[in-house]
Amino acid sequence: MSGLVAGDRFTERRRREALDDAVAFLAERYGLDAQQRKTLANVPIRWRRGGRRSTFRAPRDGSPGSITVSLPRGSLVRWHAYRRVRAGWATPRSGVTMDLAMLARLVLVHELTHALQHGTCGGPRRRYSEVETTRNEIEFLRRHQPEAMMSLEPVERRTTRATSSRRSSKGPSLFDRLLEWLRGGRVTSARARRCRAAQVPRPARAG
């Protein structure tokens, strides 16, 4: 992959190289034909240094949409990815240090994925998702700079300790109380006692 050299100046040539690499990756990943690939490569891009967040502006009134790529100053920069369980991996809170050229590619992969989600290439609109964009960024990194994967953190769903503590604070459910009664334990819920009375007939008193 070309263009991965240190240097603060991100020239027009380096921008074009970054765009070509990002488009080639997405074209292979989504099976884009030549015309779709050309359309994706021609999405208007505004480049900024030291500005706000990078964004994709959705198409409207027949426009193809547009991308703003905002890169920090300096030759070594930090990459921050969304923290999504379904993406599987995330950057640590401090980010991952990398060359400016690699960050530019990851930003382009992210924003061009949004362009695909909006149907920019003529295909059907895809569900807007930061999971998809993050997965694409991570896969691009895995292919082109696999050593950086060592800096990522696995993201796991928070189960269960919080959920189970909430449940335990409320006490056993009606089902759990009935199950306890069926096993011979005490039924402490008034509702469960009513269920018990309805299900188990009382023996008739001897006259």
Are 37 and 127 within one domain?
Answer: yes
User: How high is the pLDDT of residue 126?
Assistant: 82
d(CA 56, CA 111): 6
Are 117 and 36 within one domain?
Answer: yes
User: How high is the pLDDT of residue 52?
Assistant: 77
**Strand-strand pairing, 76-79 and 96-99:** antiparallel
| Structural domain includes residue 121 | yes
pLDDT average, residue stretch 50-56: 84
With 60 as the cut, is the pLDDT of residue 123 above it?
yes
3-state secondary structure (DSSP) of residue 34 = helix
The pLDDT confidence band at residue 171, using thresholds 50, 70 and 90, is: low
d(CA 86, CA 53): 23
d(CA 25, CA 140): 7
Are 77 and 179 within one domain?
Answer: no
Are 181 and 112 within one domain?
Answer: no
**pTM (predicted TM-score):** 0.70
Are 178 and 82 within one domain?
Answer: no
- Among candidate residues 161, 167, 143, the one with its CA nearest the CA of residue 4: 143
Are 150 and 76 within one domain?
Answer: yes
What DSSP designation does 2 have? T
Are 85 and 113 within one domain?
Answer: yes
Are 110 and 189 within one domain?
Answer: no
3-state secondary structure (DSSP) of residue 187 = coil
Are 149 and 76 within one domain?
Answer: yes
| Structural domain includes residue 205 | no
What is the domain count for the chain?
2
Task: Judge whether 79 and 109 are in contact, CB under 8 Å.
Answer: no
| Structural domain includes residue 100 | yes
Are 148 and 172 within one domain?
Answer: no
Beta strands in 50-198 (DSSP E): 55-57, 66-71, 76-79, 89-90, 96-99, 153-154
| Structural domain includes residue 97 | yes
Domain of residue 61 covers 12-154
| Structural domain includes residue 83 | yes
User: How high is the pLDDT of residue 86?
Assistant: 81
Average of per-residue pLDDT values in the chain: 80
| Structural domain includes residue 40 | yes
Are 38 and 121 within one domain?
Answer: yes
With 70 as the cut, is the pLDDT of residue 141 above it?
yes
Task: Judge whether 15 and 47 are in contact, CB under 8 Å.
Answer: yes
Report the helix count and the strand count for the chain, using DSSP H and E: 7, 7
| Structural domain includes residue 1 | no
| Structural domain includes residue 207 | no
Are 124 and 103 within one domain?
Answer: yes
What DSSP designation does 62 have? T
